[in-house]
Amino acid sequence: MAESGSGTDLLQLAKEEAARCNRCGYCQAVCPTYLVTGVETNVARGRNNLVRAAGEGETGLTKTWQSTVFECLLCGACTTTCFPAVRTAEVMALARAAVREAKGQPALQRYVFRELLPDRKKMDKIVKLARLGKRSGVSGLVQALRVVGWYGRNLAEAERILTSVPDRFLRERLDEVELTPEDRPADVAYFTGCAMNYALPDVGLSTLRVLTGAGLKVTAPDNNCCGLPAYAYGDLQAAKQLAKRNIEVLEATRARWITSDCASCTSFLSDYPKLFVDEPEWRERAERLKSRIRDATQILAEIAPRKAQTDGLEVTYHDPCHLAHHLGEREAPREVLKNLQGVEYVELPEANVCCGGAGSYNVAHPDLSAPILERKMANVRSTEAKVLATACPACIIQLRYGARRYKVPVEVRHVSQLVEGGLREEPAIERAAAEESNAPE
């Protein structure tokens, strides 16, 4: 992930990792884009070969080459099944950074990553203004929240995916939970992700209520965006800027754990050390911080009620890519669900295959995202589960869209929402169904 001085240097770094690919083809069985297209350049083996060829001067950074690089979901499934564990997601991120260095960066994209995301007050104002726009402000919200302003031609698709705008942000509702002041020792520092704050505040509140309800002292530091959107689009400098601000803020917390209920945030916070290969001091600080980071599902597995399995409503689970492949955590969320009273857990076929959301991927690449989502929802339908649980806001938004689009009778919930129902000794599934029935089509 290290940033270098030129696009050529970045491409050489990408080539060195891509050259480790032995072209065995095991990635074909798990790559979401390959599973729906069968095209060699849509699988890790093909993409790595193209990066290697560019690094060796056999091809230039053509539009076709760029499309292939930017169409990768960065899901990491290929690395999980790869014998030499080639880090294809990192290869693609470096290749994208090389494109940005060589070809330039769209002005709006640069503004969002370098001016808007580091300043939460500015971000709040933009999203609040979006509420005043046409059609409930969804277009503006998508532009601000999901960083897709440079994909204006796809805003109609974005509006179909994100159907509503919450009246108040999660940070504006923190007074609904009994939190510990930041200057006092706490058990958990809750990292507020952008999607939870602006799009799914009810999910964030469920997580906070579960943590505090279990007797944990929780604080909510004033963090900014984790930096993953900037990193995914090749702006490594912006990602480092955001990471440094978060490291300073999170270092100041006196909490045992730092957690997020957004698997993407948790994963990228854990990856901060890789951003600072050329900055030893920041790398060391990031390493110290990493030792305190836990995904919310990992904490829930320790504190959630442990009750004997009983017959109940069928619940299945979709693995967020950043949790399953980047962090390697698959058991904790399943353990939580299996121990919930009144839940009959059903394993989802291809549970660890991406749903096609991947941040703004579903808006930027709808032609690839749609068949990936359709395959996912067909698997969900086959389980006959009434509830589909996951642990990532981007997945929640995408899967809810999939349930509507493909008419799959399933409610999509974050794991913490189901746990909250169990702690309240209420029929968690019935409460979830009531809330979901009020959602717009």
DSSP per-residue codes, 93-156: HHHHHHHHHHH---HHHHHIIIIITT-HHHHHHHHHHHHTSSGGGHHHHHHHHS--GGGGGGHH
Domain membership of residue 2 (yes or no) is: no
Chain centroid offset of residue 43 CA = 21
Domain membership of residue 252 (yes or no) is: yes
88/197 same-domain check: no
Task: Say what the pTM is.
Answer: 0.87
82/50 same-domain check: yes
User: Given 251, 275, 299, which residue is the final one in a domain?
Assistant: 299
Chain centroid offset of residue 26 CA = 25
128/220 same-domain check: no
250/205 same-domain check: yes
195/180 same-domain check: yes
295/324 same-domain check: no
356/415 same-domain check: yes
Domain membership of residue 196 (yes or no) is: yes
273/372 same-domain check: no
Domain membership of residue 166 (yes or no) is: no
308/406 same-domain check: yes
Nearest to 341 by CA among 418, 269, 264, 237: 418
> Containing domain of residue 362, as a range?
304-437
Give the model confidence (pLDDT) of 30-85 as tens digits.
Answer: 999 999 888 898 899 999 999 999 999 888 889 889 889 998 989 999 999 999 99
147/217 same-domain check: no
Question: How large is the C-alpha radius of gyration of the chain?
Answer: 21
Domain membership of residue 1 (yes or no) is: no
The upper half-sphere exposure of residue 282, i.e. CA atoms within 13 Å in the direction of its Cβ, equals 19
The H or E element that residue 411 is part of is strand 411-414
Q: What is the pLDDT along the chain (441 residues), one digit of tens a residue?
A: 544 445 568 888 889 999 999 999 889 999 999 998 888 988 999 999 999 999 998 888 898 898 899 989 899 999 999 999 999 999 999 999 999 988 888 888 888 899 889 988 888 887 777 665 534 444 544 544 444 344 344 555 555 666 667 788 999 999 999 999 888 889 999 999 999 998 899 999 999 999 999 999 999 999 999 999 999 999 999 999 999 999 999 999 989 999 999 999 999 999 999 999 889 999 999 999 999 999 999 999 988 766 655 567 899 999 999 999 999 999 999 999 998 888 899 999 999 999 987 766 666 677 788 889 999 999 999 999 999 999 999 999 999 999 999 999 999 999 999 998 765 544 444 444 444 544 444
The CATH number linked to 187 is: 1.20.1050.140
Total tally of structural domains belonging to the chain:
4
The CATH number linked to 47 is: 1.10.1060.10
74/179 same-domain check: no
Domain membership of residue 178 (yes or no) is: yes
Domain membership of residue 424 (yes or no) is: yes
The CATH number linked to 356 is: 3.40.50
311/290 same-domain check: no
